[in-house]
Amino acid sequence: MTRPHESAHGGSNASPTAHLVLMRHGETTWNTLGTVQGQSPGSVLTALGRSQVRATIAQLSGRVDAVVSSDLARAVESAHIVATALGLSARVDPGLRERNFGVLEGLPGAALVPSVEGISGGVVVDENAHPANGESLRDLYERSVRAARRVGQRRPGQRTLVVTHGGPIRMIRAYADGRPLMGCAWDPVANASLWPVEIELAPELELDGLAP
């Protein structure tokens, strides 16, 4: 496996680099209920969630050139709060959506058992497991990474704030670090937390045959 920050020959690569700051949306109404959100509509930011997002503005001021978000309401609102404060516009990319949990969306979080979620003990154990009518972790990984590369290709060398969800953040970080999906740690991603990553954009550095 070729790491995104190394050339195929082991040396430094001068290809365009995507400088991204990944941000999870603020706390939502469904977060407070412990409900499986996925891509379902209806989950919106709480007052605390908006405060969490506003608290990130000082860390981002002067450090990002553009804002892109998932098209789900909780991410769009979070991105709008930040972009407005920074004097930027925000655009959306549906590829940055949270994982589709199919028939489990709207159910208590306890419905996410390893046989359908693909995660056990905080580690990815089955990248192809998926709920009925939902996505696998492999599906999420490929979609999220394509979206991140697409965002980076629009502004190579600049820094873009990407407002998204816990699942895509973990997938993009794994790709940027050159970590395989199987066995990848499913570590906590707090609401409104920030995760800087760099992704080299040369086609020969793609993993698992991903297209741009």
With tokens 């905080």, the residue in question is 122
Identify the active-site residue in 19, 25, 130, 165.
Answer: 25
> 112-116, 120-124, 206-210: lowest mean pLDDT where?
206-210
pTM of the model as a whole: 0.90
Identify the active-site residue in 19, 27, 77, 98.
Answer: 98
With tokens 């409900």, the residue in question is 35
CATH superfamily, domain 17-205, is: Phosphoglycerate mutase-like (3.40.50.1240)
4: pLDDT confidence band, cut at 50, 70 and 90? Answer: very low
Find the largest Cα–Cα distance for the chain.
Answer: 50
Interatomic CA distance for residues 1 and 94, integer angstroms: 28
- Burial state string for 24-54 with b = 16 or more CB within 10 A and e = fewer than 16: bbbbbebbeeebbbbbbeebebbeebbebbe
**Using one digit for the tens of pLDDT, what is the confidence trace for 9-26?**
344 556 788 999 999 999
> 95-99, 115-119, 123-127, 155-159: lowest mean pLDDT where?
155-159
Cα of first residue to Cα of last residue in the chain, in angstroms, is 18
**Using one digit for the tens of pLDDT, what is the confidence trace for 168-207?**
999 999 999 999 999 999 999 999 999 999 998 876 445 5
**Using one digit for the tens of pLDDT, what is the confidence trace for 79-118?**
999 999 999 999 999 999 999 999 999 999 999 999 999 9
Report domain extents, the chain. 17-205
* Whether residue 98 lies in the annotated active site: yes
